[in-house]
């Protein structure tokens, strides 16, 4: 079985308050985008996992894909399987690649072992692995609230629009990014999507100012996309990736770090 976990972007990201559990309450519209990792599941007499492509630094803990398998094994007593992750989505980039890999593994194992788990059940399992993981179960535009795991589907129509996504190769620590933010509960995004022409003024990423202060090349890249005709340009997540959305196909983009340019819609 071959699976293609996709990345996401954030349309605005507001930090509302710090919670007693140490997490933050946020509001952000998450949108799936067509940049992919690859996961292969195959029959095996014993569980095995290997990873190729972009190197994932180890902190001594299980990676998200292995954690997803262990969770399903412990909860549903599934059998062994061989998992190969081909990592292509940059890590520490605000694109949710690790979360996508974990969620896609849950969905793949659900199908592989014919467990028949519902979307809701898979989302609850994904929330045990990470705040962004539940989004990639339904994998549709949604307003994420709570610590990011509470999802409210939104009708965000990106058909006919184009997107350019850049990664400048800077690793931004999510923990340090949160540490630089003063939460403001008044900065609610709301449950209704704004008109496209209002996005730049309204969908603000609270991480963008402190991160671009430390890394001005990100701000320069965002301004470059606006100069090239983007109707919305911003940093994604806690960075360092940034994006521009265009009404017409962008041509002659020359800034370094271009990951993807083309349709906003998923290809699978």
Q: Return the active site residues.
A: 8, 132
CA angle 10, 259, 178 (to 5 degrees): 35
- Whole-angstrom CA distances from 32 to 77, 85, 103, 173, 216 are 31, 19, 13, 22, 26
Structure tokens at 111: 């199908």
- Whole-angstrom CA distances from 48 to 45, 51, 92, 162 are 9, 10, 25, 39
- The position carrying tokens 């630094």 is 57
Task: Compute the distance between CA of residue 89 and CA of residue 96 in angstroms, rounded to an integer.
Answer: 8
Task: Compute the distance between CA of residue 155 and CA of residue 192 in angstroms, rounded to an integer.
Answer: 9
Structure tokens at 94: 């605000």
């Amino acid at each position: 079985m071959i699976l293609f976990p996709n990345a996401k972007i954030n349309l605005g990201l507001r930090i509302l308050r710090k919670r007693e559990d140490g997490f933050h309450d946020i509001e952000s519209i998450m949108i799936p985008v067509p940049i992919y990792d690859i996961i292969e599941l195959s029959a095996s007499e014993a569980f095995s996992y290997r990873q190729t492509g972009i190197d994932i630094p180890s902190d001594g803990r299980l990676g998200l894909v292995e954690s997803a398998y262990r969770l399903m094994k412990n909860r549903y007593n599934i059998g062994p399987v061989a998992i190969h992750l081909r990592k292509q989505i940059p890590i520490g980039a605000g694109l949710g690649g690790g979360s996508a890999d974990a969620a896609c593994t849950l969905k793949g194992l659900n199908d592989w072992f014919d467990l028949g788990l519902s979307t809701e059940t898979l989302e609850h399992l994904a929330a045990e692995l990470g705040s962004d993981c539940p989004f990639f179960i339904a994998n549709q535009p949604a307003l994420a609230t709570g610590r990011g795991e509470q999802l409210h589907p939104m009708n965000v129509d990106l058909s006919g629009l184009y997107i350019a996504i850049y990664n400048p190769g800077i690793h931004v620590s999510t923990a340090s990014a949160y540490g630089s933010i003063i939460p403001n509960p008044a900065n609610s995004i709301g449950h209704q999507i704004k008109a496209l022409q209002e996005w730049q003024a309204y969908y603000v990423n609270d991480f963008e100012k402190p991160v671009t202060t430390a890394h001005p090349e990100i701000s320069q890249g965002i301004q470059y996309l606006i100069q090239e005709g983007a109707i919305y340009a911003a940093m994604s997540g806690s960075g360092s990736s940034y994006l521009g959305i265009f009404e017409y196909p962008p041509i002659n983009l020359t800034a370094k770090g271009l990951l993807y340019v083309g349709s906003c819609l998923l290809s699978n």
